[in-house]
Amino acid sequence: MKHFLRTCCFSAVAALLFAAAPVWADDAEDIRLPTPQKSGGMPLLDALASRKSSRRTQGERPTLQQISDLLWAANGITRPDGKRTAPSAMNRQEIDIAVLTADGLYEWDEEENKLEREETREDLSDQLNGSSVFLVFTFDKDDQTPAYAQVDCGFVGQNVYLYCTSQKWDCVFLGSIDRKKLARALDCDADEVLYGMRIGIR
Ligand SMILES: Cc1cc2nc3c(=O)[nH]c(=O)nc-3n(C[C@H](O)[C@H](O)[C@H](O)COP(=O)(O)O)c2cc1C
């Protein structure tokens, strides 16, 4: 009986630890994200009143659920015709989001809601700078003019600000980023790297 109870306790603790831990892939495979949470959070007017840039460079390691929720808020698909939480000029939907965490660099595929691993030799730890997540917004010059891409990126950025405010996370929109290094890591041109956002999960 004692052995049975000990085994049960051990299994319960192991299950709890496993459930609480983020399940990032150890190898270079894509990561399928869990279904995002699309309701709840802080009332919009409260989030607007509390939104601010916070440059605190610390944060917890994100779970896949947190990443999925954050990305959906940023620019997730909301309608059957594929339209998003953020508007885009001529509905070009040209803003791509790369996700940098201590676990690596990934491109978000919003249709499949998965993270595609980017193999890079670049050391991007200075961009992450101890925070939980660094989002990189890029666009394809063939899809949109730079002027419209800048505006469209701003809408995505504000979605992220409001979502982070709602979660009581730290967050800042960044123009001062190493575009050349990020472009090398993401295999695009430096002028296609628009902005970054550094997020600290508390
Ligand atoms: C286009 C843009 C670029 C920004 N670049 C930086 C940056 O490189 N570094 C930084 O610390 N904050 C940056 N910020 C954040 C602003 O400094 C911040 O929004 C401003 O001081 C107002 O503060 P608030 O966001 O708390 O209202 C940027 C904001 C915008 C809109």
Domain containing residue 193: CATH number: 3.40.109.10
Say what the pLDDT of residue 6 is.
52
Q: Could you tell me if 100 and 67 are in contact, meaning their C-beta atoms sit under 8 angstroms apart?
A: no
Q: Could you tell me if 30 and 144 are in contact, meaning their C-beta atoms sit under 8 angstroms apart?
A: no
Residue 16 lies in a domain: no
Residue 15 lies in a domain: no
Structurally, the chain folds into a number of domains equal to 1
Residue 151 lies in a domain: yes
What residues pair up with 134 in beta bridges, in sequence order? Answer: 100, 198
Q: Could you tell me if 144 and 137 are in contact, meaning their C-beta atoms sit under 8 angstroms apart?
A: no
Say what the pLDDT of residue 144 is.
97
Classify strands 96-101 and 104-109 as parallel, antiparallel or unpaired.
antiparallel
pTM of the predicted model as reported, rounded to 2 decimal places = 0.89
- The residue to mutate among 55, 156, 173, having the most atoms of ligand 1 within 8 angstroms of its beta carbon, is 173
Nearest CA to ligand 1 atom 22: 53
Residue 57 lies in a domain: yes
**Structural domain boundaries, residue 41:** 23-200
Interacting residues of 182 by C-beta distance below 8 A, sequence separation 6+: 98, 122, 124, 127, 136, 190, 193, 196
Say what the pLDDT of residue 15 is.
45
Say what the pLDDT of residue 38 is.
97
pLDDT in single tens digits along all 202 residues of the chain: 555 445 444 444 444 444 444 556 655 679 999 999 999 999 999 999 999 999 998 999 999 999 999 999 999 999 999 999 999 999 999 999 999 999 999 999 999 999 999 999 999 999 999 999 999 999 999 999 999 999 999 999 999 999 999 999 999 999 999 999 999 999 999 999 999 999 999 9
Residue 4 lies in a domain: no
Say what the pLDDT of residue 28 is.
60
Which atom in ligand 1 lies closest to the alpha carbon of residue 52?
26
Residue 139 lies in a domain: yes
Q: Which residue, among 71, 123, 121, has the nearest Cα to 98 in the 3D structure?
A: 71
Residue 117 lies in a domain: yes
Say what the pLDDT of residue 29 is.
79
Residue 12 lies in a domain: no
Q: Is the Cβ atom of 158 under 6 angstroms away from ligand 1?
A: no
Ligand 1 center to 177 CA (angstroms): 12
Ligand 1 center to 157 CA (angstroms): 11
Q: Is the Cβ atom of 175 under 6 angstroms away from ligand 1?
A: yes
Nearest CA to ligand 1 atom 21: 53
